[in-house]
Structure 1
């Protein structure tokens, strides 16, 4: 995790330097700069700092991974990396039902929103429980 901590640390330093520069560059009027962009860059810098601290803290507490060691070989990283799900149609139906809900709200047809919500609930349940039934059951 040290590599990830260093990447987020570099991003933190970048945003720390860019934020005051942005505020000074946008100071074209007498109002004192663009507060929206400056606050967004400040929040982004704080988010990158939070990730740097979190990853750095956990990197010290856990055993080094093969990619964190300088003496590691490629074979040290061999083995199972995790569970990667196969294809699934459920995200498509969940997104389509969300589209029906949004269209129902935008057009003022609340009955269409209700239909989309019911279909969305069914699609979400299918997506959650797809590994308990059928071909990909565990």
Structure 2
């Protein structure tokens, strides 16, 4: 994770330098600052700073290198518990479809939001409560 933080710091510095080059170039070529590109490149540098800071803080909080980051580590050195996943669950697919309907409403018509919102509610309730009934009930 330390390598990722270093790469994002390098990327942020690169974007800030290119932002300065872009401003100078636009002043020479056009005679004024072109704000859309200047802000876009500057915000890309700010995003690099945010990600580098987060990665650095996460690396410091975990107490050093993870087993996944060491080249000499074995597969079983990492933490085997990654969470609980339902490989047979259809609810995430319905949730993705209903969120797609909500975004489709931006292009087609706002009335589709009501259908997508109802399907989002059904999919979330179904996904949360899928282990309380049926073959996989607790």
Q: TM exceeds 0.5?
A: yes
Structure 2 stretches lacking a partner, 5+ long: none
* RMSD of aligned alpha carbons: 3.2
* Structure-1 residue corresponding to 2:96: 95
1:9-29 C-alpha deviation (Å, 9 max, x unpaired): 121122122111222334432
Q: CA shift at 1:79, angstroms?
A: 4.5
Structure 1 stretches lacking a partner, 5+ long: none
* Structure-2 residue corresponding to 1:8: 8
CA separation of 1:3/1:77 partners in 2, compared to 1, >3 Å: closer, same or farther? farther
Q: CA shift at 1:49, angstroms?
A: 1.0
Count matched residues. Answer: 134
- C-alpha distance in 2, partners of 1:100/1:58? 36
Correspondence 1:74 to 2:73: yes
- C-alpha distance in 2, partners of 1:42/1:123? 39
- C-alpha distance in 2, partners of 1:35/1:3? 33
- C-alpha distance in 2, partners of 1:97/1:117? 7
TM-score by length of 2: 0.69
Q: CA shift at 1:122, angstroms?
A: 0.4
1:44-100 C-alpha deviation (Å, 9 max, x unpaired): 21121122223223433432223556xx62227345161373364323322332344
- C-alpha distance in 1, partners of 2:63/2:103? 47
- C-alpha distance in 2, partners of 1:74/1:136? 36
* Structure-2 residue corresponding to 1:123: 123
TM-score by length of 1: 0.69
